[in-house]
């Protein structure tokens, strides 16, 4: 039993979809979230810069007495996790591995689809991870670069012509490859579950990377005897920059109202 909070970070607001899953799965846990909104997106950065940013993000979270970290950023999960783990004496979990593990369990056709940002697709990290788990599983990847800006502009609801047109164009060719499992490899995509599901049809299982990561964290806390005894935990949000619509967008990801202010962080100081 351990009442210390869990730390979660991402390059921006997307990681709040993981916070949402944690709140559902682990309602007794306190959560400290940091969104590095002043330096978003991480996708196009060099490995050196990424590691510098990730270390600062961890350093900030560790300025609180936290018991574990969830790296809710696909790019950091695929590039820096081993180093961060070596440098820190607490459990650090990412979003890529849990989704891959689940996909390999679920697929029957041994053909798994992956949608993600262009940077994540280019990294080849999902293919590598799935290849390590089961070399017989084929991964068919498709970058969906417009999904993030569309979601951040509130266009994720079924019935919106714009998101539905874009989703059909991205996903229809993927559907035709005969995949039976699709990894939503970006923390923005859980908001598109309904839109993506209606293009892919009921025969394709959608894997929500944020949800799988939350399950993974739950297991890690339980196995380490680190679960909080309760009562109800709460999430405290920090961000390195807050554009005018930050609150609205954050609430869409959390699917709950924010009752406390989002606190500012000067991340260059960490």
CA 194, CA 157: separation in Å to the nearest integer? Answer: 8
Q: Which of 270, 256, 112 has its CA nearest to residue 185?
A: 112
Q: Does 28 bind a second copy (CB under 8 A)?
A: no
Q: Is 107 annotated as a binding residue?
A: no
- CB of 239 vs a second copy, minimal distance in Å: 11
Of the pair 44, 224, the CB lying nearest a second copy is at 44
Please report, for residues 14, 109, 145, 157, 261, the alpha-carbon distance to residue 34 in angstroms, rounded to integers and kept in the order given: 11, 39, 24, 26, 13
Known catalytic membership, residue 100: no
Of the pair 31, 119, the CB lying nearest a second copy is at 119
Instruction: Note the maximum CA span of the chain.
Output: 49
Known catalytic membership, residue 186: yes
CA 23, CA 31: separation in Å to the nearest integer? Answer: 9
Is residue 239 within 8 A of residue 231, CB to CB? The reply is no
Q: Which of 220, 187, 248 has its CA nearest to residue 29?
A: 220
Of the pair 38, 88, the CB lying nearest a second copy is at 38
Q: Does 109 bind a second copy (CB under 8 A)?
A: no
Q: Is 205 annotated as a binding residue?
A: no
Query: Which residue of 25, 83, 133, 162 would you call a contact of a second copy, by CB under 8 A?
Result: 162
Query: Which residue of 158, 243, 261, 264 would you call a contact of a second copy, by CB under 8 A?
Result: 243
Of the pair 46, 176, the CB lying nearest a second copy is at 46
Residues 138-157 that bind a second copy (CB under 8 A): 145-146, 149-150, 153, 155
Of the pair 245, 256, the CB lying nearest a second copy is at 245
Query: Which residue of 38, 88, 109, 251 would you call a contact of a second copy, by CB under 8 A?
Result: 38
Q: Is 43 annotated as a binding residue?
A: yes
Please report, for residues 16, 124, 137, 138, 266, the alpha-carbon distance to residue 19 in angstroms, rounded to integers and kept in the order given: 5, 26, 30, 30, 22
One of 73, 80, 100, 144 is an active-site residue; which one?
A: 73
Q: Which active-site residues does the annotation give?
A: 73, 186
Residues that bind a second copy (CB under 8 A): 37-38, 44-46, 118-119, 122, 145-146, 149-150, 153, 155, 161-162, 165-166, 241, 243-245
Q: Which residues are annotated as a binding site for substrate?
A: 10-11, 42-43, 187-188
Q: Which residues are annotated as a binding site?
A: 10-11, 42-43, 187-188
């Amino acid at each position: 039993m351990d009442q210390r909070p869990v730390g979660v970070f991402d390059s921006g607001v997307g990681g709040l979809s993981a916070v949402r899953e944690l709140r559902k799965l682990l309602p007794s846990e306190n959560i400290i979230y940091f969104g590095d909104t002043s330096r978003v997106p991480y996708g196009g950065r060099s490995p050196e810069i990424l590691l510098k940013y990730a270390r600062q993000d961890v350093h900030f979270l560790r300025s609180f007495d936290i018991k574990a970290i969830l790296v809710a950023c696909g790019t950091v999960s695929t590039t820096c996790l081993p180093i961060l783990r070596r440098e820190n004496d607490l459990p650090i979990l990412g979003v890529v591995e849990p989704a891959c593990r689940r996909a390999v369990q679920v697929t029957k056709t041994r053909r798994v689809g992956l949608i993600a940002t262009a940077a994540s697709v280019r990294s080849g990290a999902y293919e590598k991870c799935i290849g390590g788990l089961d070399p017989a599983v084929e991964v068919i990847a498709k970058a969906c670069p417009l999904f993030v800006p569309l979601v951040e502009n509130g266009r994720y609801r079924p019935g919106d012509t714009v998101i539905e047109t874009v989703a059909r164009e991205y996903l229809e060719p993927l559907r035709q490859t005969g995949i039976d499992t699709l990894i939503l490899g970006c923390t923005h995509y859980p908001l598109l579950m309904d839109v993506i599901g209606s293009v892919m049809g009921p025969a394709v299982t959608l894997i929500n990377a944020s949800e799988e990561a939350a399950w993974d964290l739950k297991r890690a806390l339980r196995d380490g005897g680190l679960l909080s005894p309760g009562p109800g935990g709460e999430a405290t949000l920090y961000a390195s920059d807050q554009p005018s619509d930050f609150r609205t967008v954050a609430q869409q990801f959390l699917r709950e109202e924010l009752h406390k202010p989002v606190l500012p962080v000067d991340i260059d100081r960490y």
